Amino acid sequence: MADQHLLTAHQETLSTIDYEQLILATGCQERSIPFPGWDMPGVMLLGGIQLQIKSGLVRPGNRCVITGTGPLLVLVACQLHKAGCDITGIYEAAPFKDLARETLALLNRPQLALDGLSMMMYLKRHHIPMHYGWGVVKAIGGPQVEQVTVAPYSKDWHPDVSRAETINADVLGIGYGFAARSQLAQLMGLEMQYDHMSGAIPVVDEWQRASIDNVYCAGDTVKFAGAEAAMLEGKIAAYAALNARNILMPNLENEFKALRHQLDKSYRFR
Ligand SMILES: Cc1cc2nc3c(=O)[nH]c(=O)nc-3n(C[C@H](O)[C@H](O)[C@H](O)COP(=O)(O)OP(=O)(O)OC[C@H]3O[C@@H](n4cnc5c(N)ncnc54)[C@H](O)[C@@H]3O)c2cc1C
């Protein structure tokens, strides 16, 4: 028990908080992929672009190229276009056939699938081209990005530069996924494992219990599966913590089964 406290910093004051149960939910961060020109003004991660648009104050540029992989590419392209930007092209690294193979899983979340479809229709309506199996090679310019070179990717994402194309753009949006923010879990000495999407993540059981007693992990720090899954994992961890403190919940087992069922559906969709 003696070691169970957290050192926290708040408003320039350090303090310690003793705990009996701890739920770690430290989220994730966007993954930065280095390539020539990646540090030039105008090259931005998709989350940064979204923040600028959502703040309603800044339009990141005029001619935008979006590269990377995942549904965020399409969402950000639509948001940029609605904000008045010209979208020269979206370059999704995964080949179309790989994405098409996953369409059955979309039936797990019909509303989200419909939202996705309506975004694809938006792209079509506004003649925004979507290229599958293509990705970034380099950003060219100085000091600001002026051109972007893209090329078809092989199945292990090596660009075929003999077929590269260079496009004029003053914004390059990059979205190659997220890495778990698991430093705190590592510092605490929790058992870790490697996940091909999220990098180093803490090992948890079906109740979100980590390898050290009374420590639970939930959300993007464990598995990148979106906001709904993060909330469900948080609930399961909270129930497990209450149970460990002998605070009896009526119907705990049934509640747990229902949450796990929802969570599995959410994972399949993601
Ligand atoms: C750009 C972007 C777009 C997204 N769009 C969608 C979407 O459209 N739909 C969807 O379902 N999901 C989306 N997501 C994912 C969604 O935001 C996450 O799945 C969800 O927020 C995960 O919740 P979480 O509690 O695990 O982490 P977070 O919401 O990230 O919360 C983690 C918190 O922990 C804090 N923290 C981290 N380390 C420490 C520390 N050492 N000490 C103290 N505090 C710490 C952080 O400051 C943060 O407040 C998006 C994510 C990003 C980045």
Mean pLDDT per 10-residue run, the chain (270 residues)? 80 94 95 94 95 86 95 94 96 84 70 83 95 97 96 92 97 95 95 93 97 96 92 96 86 91 86
How high is the pLDDT of residue 245? Answer: 87
Ligand 1 touching residue 177 (CB < 6 A): no
149 C-beta closer than 6 A to ligand 1: no
The structure tokens listed for 268 are 């399949």
Using the atom order of ligand 1, give the atom closest to the CA of residue 228: 11
Give the Å distance between the CA of 50 and the centre of ligand 1.
14
Cα 266 to averaged position of ligand 1 atoms, centre (Å): 17
pLDDT at 1: 47
pLDDT > 70 in the chain, percent: 95
Model confidence pLDDT, tens digit, residues 120-131: 999 999 999 999
CATH code of the region 17-28+180-269: 3.50.50.60
Asked if residue 26 has its Cβ within 6 Å of ligand 1, the reply is yes
Residues 59-69 as b or e (16 or more Cβ within 10 Å = b) = ebbebbbbbbb
* 34-175 homologous superfamily: FAD/NAD(P)-binding domain (3.50.50.60)
Give span(s): CATH 3.50.50.60, the chain: 17-28+180-269, 34-175
What's the whole-model pTM score? 0.83
Does residue 53's CB lie within 6 angstroms of at least one atom of ligand 1?
no
Ligand 1: which atom is nearest the Cα of residue 45? 1
